[in-house]
């Protein structure tokens, strides 16, 4: 562990973490550990800004948490020498004493390139760099599952101390009264009470997408069973049209909030839902962080457990197949046999089981 006095004297810390909503949420415990280790330091983050309609900037999600005080944009065309030089100058001007490395591993060569670059930026000490292969990969657990991404990140930061990922505050977004009020207003606009389930059909990559036909069949079946219940959909603006089409199969009251609320207001909506059903996606991680029980439909793109939200209350539908961990974005030759083998009846049954557990009188 770094000497305590050194931590107290640190004035500026730069955290390196790329990604969007899910990548931010799984890193929340690590960001809390950094804040715990350097409570008086200015903590900045080097991250990518919005690159598509589906990508939520980390700044938007972390607003009001107090974990990060400012942001430096990680440029898309970093191979351009002029862009690289501009980033180097920007980081040097900030004069960070410590870099906390939370980037997803891309191999030892890329890691070493990163280290050289940040040293050239004048950063004295780098923490969390996964030089060893065991830090770059999720550990295999006793039950043939694999280590959660957020736990692996904490393992990389063990020199800063320990943080209990099961702590109730680990994923707290500190939603404001205004954000909760915005959620209530959105729900009340069509007379929705609190008897509703939330869902999202979006996915950043095709291999994680269960398909509109499955969603339509599921919503039709759930709607017939859950008379008097409402269905609220969340997601990005570019998913709004597709979501509206799938919502036609729901026979009851529904609300399409795709692109209508901020990500934090969406989290406030999700916190009011009895359960959430969706793909392995940003909204699923957001629902789990908001304290809502999830029924999550996974492809086998990643190893089982890597991106499962922590806790025992969630239902995680995942198929163990020979090609699991493929990291593909598209699966045409095998027709997404992993996620497509998850049936509508299976998801339907799990949603009802969760609802019967959460609210047995319904």
Please list, in sequence order, all residues whose beta carbon lies within 8 angstroms of the beta carbon of residue 158, skipping any fewer than 6 positions away.
none
**Mean pLDDT of the 44-64 span:** 79
The CATH superfamily of 179-358 is Glycogen Phosphorylase B; (3.40.50.2000)
Residues 130-183 have pLDDT tens digits of 999 999 999 999 888 999 999 999 999 999 999 999 988 999 999 999 999 999
Q: Rounding to the nearest 10 degrees, give the CA dihedral for residues 187, 191, 194, 200.
A: -50
- Does the pLDDT at position 341 exceed 70? yes
Domain with CATH 3.40.50.2000 in the chain: 4-160, 179-358
What is the structure's pLDDT at 80?
86
Q: For residue 234, which phi and psi values (nearest 5 degrees)?
A: -125, 160
Residue 109 DSSP SS3: helix
What is the structure's pLDDT at 2?
47
pLDDT band at 48 (very low <50, low <70, confident <90, very high): confident
Report the residue count for the chain.
Answer: 362
Cβ atoms of 206 and 171 within 8 Å: the answer is no
For residue 283 the two structure tokens come to 């909204």
Cβ atoms of 71 and 45 within 8 Å: the answer is yes
Please list, in sequence order, all residues whose beta carbon lies within 8 angstroms of the beta carbon of residue 73, skipping any fewer than 6 positions away.
47, 48, 49
**Mean pLDDT of the 333-355 span:** 96
Could you tell me which CATH number the domain at 4-160 has?
A: 3.40.50.2000
Residues 267-281 have pLDDT tens digits of 999 999 999 999 999
Angle at which helices 240-247 and 212-225 cross, to 10°: 50
Output the furthest CA–CA distance in the chain (Å, rounded).
63
**Mean pLDDT of the 203-214 span:** 95
Residues 232-286 have pLDDT tens digits of 999 999 999 999 999 999 999 999 999 999 999 999 999 999 999 999 999 999 9
Half-sphere exposure of 281 (CA within 13 A, CB side): 25
């Amino acid at each position: 562990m770094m000497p305590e006095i050194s931590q107290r004297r640190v004035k500026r810390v730069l955290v390196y973490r790329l990604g969007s909503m899910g990548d931010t949420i799984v890193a929340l415990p690590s960001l809390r550990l950094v804040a715990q280790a350097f409570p008086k330091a200015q903590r900045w983050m080097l991250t990518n800004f919005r690159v598509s309609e589906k990508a939520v900037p980390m700044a938007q999600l972390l607003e009001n948490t107090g974990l990060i005080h400012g942001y430096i944009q990680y440029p898309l065309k970093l191979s351009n020498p002029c862009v690289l030089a501009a980033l180097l100058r920007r980081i040097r001007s900030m004069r960070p004493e410590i870099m906390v490395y939370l980037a997803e591993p891309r191999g030892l060569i890329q890691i070493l390139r990163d280290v050289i670059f940040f040293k050239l930026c004048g950063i004295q000490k780098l923490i969390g760099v996964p030089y060893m292969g065991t830090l770059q990969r999720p550990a295999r657990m006793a039950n043939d599952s694999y280590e959660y991404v957020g736990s692996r990140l904490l393992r990389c930061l063990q020199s800063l101390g320990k943080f209990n990922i099961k702590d109730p505050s680990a994923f707290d977004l500190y939603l404001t009264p205004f954000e909760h009020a915005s959620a209530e207003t959105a729900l009340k606009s069509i007379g929705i009470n609190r008897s509703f389930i939330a869902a999202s059909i979006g996915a950043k990559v095709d291999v994680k997408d269960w398909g509109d036909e499955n969603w339509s069949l599921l919503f039709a079946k759930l709607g017939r069973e859950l008379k008097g219940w409402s269905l609220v959909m969340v997601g990005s603006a570019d998913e709004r049209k597709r979501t509206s089409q799938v919502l036609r199969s729901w026979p009851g009251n529904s609300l399409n909030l795709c692109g209508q609320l901020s990500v934090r207001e969406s989290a406030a909506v999700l916190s009011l839902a009895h359960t959430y059903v969706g793909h392995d996606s940003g909204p699923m991680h957001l629902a789990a962080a908001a304290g809502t029980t999830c029924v999550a439909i996974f492809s086998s793109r990643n190893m089982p457990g890597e991106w499962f939200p922590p806790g025992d209350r969630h239902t995680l539908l995942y198929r163990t197949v020979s090609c699991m961990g493929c990291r593909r974005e598209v699966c045409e030759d095998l027709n997404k046999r992993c996620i497509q083998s998850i049936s509508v009846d299976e998801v339907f049954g799990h949603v009802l089981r969760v609802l019967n557990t959460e609210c047995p009188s319904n």
